Structure formats: C-alpha cells, structure tokens
Amino acid sequence: MKYIKAGYNRKFPMEQFGNENPYVEIEIEDGDDPLAVLQEAKNLLYKFHEQSVKQDEAKNVKDISQELPKSQKGVIEQILGCKTEKELSEWDIYVNSKSGEPLKGFYEQRKMQLKNGN
C-alpha cells in the first residue's frame, strides 16, 4: 500500500451558532511517515485556528470599540484576556447589567473559548 496524501479536518466552534471547518491536505513524499504527516496536518489546523481566533477577537474589539464609550474599551480587553472561567465569572454581573449589555457578546465568546480549552 502506498499513501499519497494525508488530510485533516476539524470543526471548531466559533461565535454563538457558528463554526469554522478548515481542512488541510499534505502530499506524502517518499520516506515520510504517514502518521507523522497526518499529525503535522492536525497541528497546522490547530495553529491556524488559534491565530484566526486572535485575529477575529482583535477585529471585534476594534470594530465595536469605535461605537462604545471609552470606559468600556478597556473592559472588552479585560474580558477577552481572562484566563479561567472563574476569572471571567467576575464580569457576569456587569455584562448582565444595562451598562454592560453591549459587552455581553464578548463575554459569551470568551466563555465558550474557555470551555473549549482555548
């Protein structure tokens, strides 16, 4: 049996009700271990997803921050910078208040990321 290509597909949950479904296919050259090539494809997609999320977060912060009061711009960055669900939960009362309501999407996005280990 001769392996010619190795591919990897992974569905990553994104924003609420959205998914990203990237795929990579790598040609196997003579002497390559097909399992190692497949692992490389997997690693490549995870790296792509990580960079994609960071770019999307930066874009979202930039887009919405133009519409929000200056005091809330820093709050978005703090919410997106939370490292644990417990740390994020400290923002729960604020984002559910009337003044924090515009930031709820960022809160939910970060909550989902932390649940998925990102």
List the structure tokens of 103: 């930031």
Question: What is the pTM assigned to this prediction?
Answer: 0.45
Model pLDDT, residue 5: 79
> What are 59-87's pLDDT values in tens digits?
665 565 566 666 677 788 888 889 999 99
Phi, psi of 16 (to 5 degrees): -55, 125
Highest mean predicted confidence (pLDDT) among 40-54, 59-73, 82-96: 82-96
Model pLDDT, residue 9: 77
Model pLDDT, residue 52: 77
> What are 8-40's pLDDT values in tens digits?
777 777 665 567 788 888 899 889 999 999 899
Position 103 pLDDT exceeds 60: yes
Model pLDDT, residue 104: 83
Model pLDDT, residue 7: 78
Between the CA atoms of 39, 41, 47 and 52, what dihedral angle is there, to the nearest 10 degrees?
-150
Domain ranges of the chain: 5-115
Residue 100 contacts residue 78 (beta carbons within 8 Å): no
Tokens 């809160």 locate to 107
HSE-up (13 A, CA, CB side) for residue 85: 9
